[in-house]
A = this chain, B = another copy of it.
């Protein structure tokens, strides 16, 4: 399959315009002062379903129809892609079956059901997700909606980058650095294509949690690397075992690099977002902010745009993090 182009991302933006939230790009004086540069935050936490995932799902699913695709759609997801697919399918009148790990946050499972999807649970540590996914697709004749390694998904997520560069320009800013969380790479690859079409000198950095740095290592070695474990990070949205073929190729084309943050840095970033920014950010959504606050990615007076990619966090975990435990 070909990689998406900037024109594919522009077409996705047109498709999404009536339905997706044009999320704010917020400049934080507090962060500017603290970090010594200009910090712009892209609030995908305020997107439909609470994460950027609606963009890619809708871009793909809006081209299907109930008549041509009576089996509906099927997706495998730890939670955020699930909600994006369920919401987009419901808008198109299509049935949605979602294969989810039983270890996913309870909130994400409940919300996927609330959006009208059928949820099929599996055990992340013992079951074969791909086999279950393929079986459901075959039995129902459902269209598979992959979480990231798909040109239409990548183009949809890339609209985050298209928007943020236009919003930055309207604020008189040109980002030197763009940071986004990275699981399988759908967001970072789409964002990289869009950002570098607007500013070819911009450096795009994929931020990953410790122990799940498959993309960072792949970009350093030049070939697709995998994580040692399938689970075990607070960043439940970023646990893909390895980058996709397409997402990796697109990141390489755009000279994306990677950086890694610790769980402690993620928790601190979530507390900072609560206290200083008044924003609810889920662990996987806060890794970019964590990379800045911890100095993992130094700012050095530059202008940086950071994607806060989602806000779906269980209240119990959030309370625990606020209490510093």
Which residues of A pack against B, CB within 8 Å?
Answer: 21, 24, 26-27, 29, 45-46, 48, 50, 107, 271, 274-275, 277-281, 311, 315-316, 318-320, 322-323
Known contacts A21-B26, A21-B27, A26-B46; A311/B278 CB under 8 A: yes
Give the nearest-CB partner of A324 in chain B.
Answer: B315
Given the complex of chains A and B, what is the CA–CA distance between A45 and B45 in angstroms?
15
A279 touches B280 (CB 8 A): yes
Residues from chain B with Cβ under 8 Å of A45 in the complex: 278
Residues from chain B with Cβ under 8 Å of A48 in the complex: 29
Give the nearest-CB partner of A41 in chain B.
Answer: B46
Residues from chain B with Cβ under 8 Å of A280 in the complex: 274, 278-280
Given the complex of chains A and B, what is the CA–CA distance between A50 and B278 in angstroms?
7
Please list 27 pairs of residues, one from A and one from B, whose beta carbons are closer than 8 Å in the complex, sorted by A's number.
A21-B26, A21-B27, A24-B24, A24-B26, A29-B48, A45-B278, A46-B277, A46-B279, A271-B315, A274-B280, A274-B315, A274-B318, A275-B315, A278-B279, A278-B280, A278-B281, A278-B311, A279-B279, A280-B280, A315-B323, A316-B323, A318-B319, A318-B322, A319-B319, A319-B320, A319-B322, A319-B323
Chain B nearest Cβ from A279, distance in angstroms: 7
Residues from chain B with Cβ under 8 Å of A29 in the complex: 48
Chain B nearest Cβ from A11, distance in angstroms: 23
Chain B nearest Cβ from A119, distance in angstroms: 19
Number of copies: 2
Q: Which 4 pairs across A and B sit closest by C-beta, in order of nearness?
A: A278-B311, A319-B319, A315-B322, A24-B24
B323 touches A107 (CB 8 A): no
Chain B nearest Cβ from A289, distance in angstroms: 14
Given the complex of chains A and B, what is the CA–CA distance between A311 and B30 in angstroms?
15
Chain B nearest Cβ from A173, distance in angstroms: 14
Residues from chain B with Cβ under 8 Å of A27 in the complex: 21
Residues from chain B with Cβ under 8 Å of A311 in the complex: 278
Given the complex of chains A and B, what is the CA–CA distance between A318 and B322 in angstroms?
8
Residues from chain B with Cβ under 8 Å of A21 in the complex: 26-27
Give the nearest-CB partner of A281 in chain B.
Answer: B278
Chain B nearest Cβ from A184, distance in angstroms: 23
Chain B nearest Cβ from A257, distance in angstroms: 29
Chain B nearest Cβ from A273, distance in angstroms: 8
Chain B nearest Cβ from A167, distance in angstroms: 11
Given the complex of chains A and B, what is the CA–CA distance between A315 and B325 in angstroms?
12
Give the nearest-CB partner of A308 in chain B.
Answer: B278
Given the complex of chains A and B, what is the CA–CA distance between A319 and B314 in angstroms?
12
Chain B nearest Cβ from A41, distance in angstroms: 10
Given the complex of chains A and B, what is the CA–CA distance between A278 and B46 in angstroms?
7
Given the complex of chains A and B, what is the CA–CA distance between A316 and B271 in angstroms?
12
Give the nearest-CB partner of A271 in chain B.
Answer: B315
Residues from chain B with Cβ under 8 Å of A316 in the complex: 322-323
Residues from chain B with Cβ under 8 Å of A26 in the complex: 21, 24, 46
Given the complex of chains A and B, what is the CA–CA distance between A277 and B277 in angstroms?
14
Given the complex of chains A and B, what is the CA–CA distance between A280 and B275 in angstroms?
9
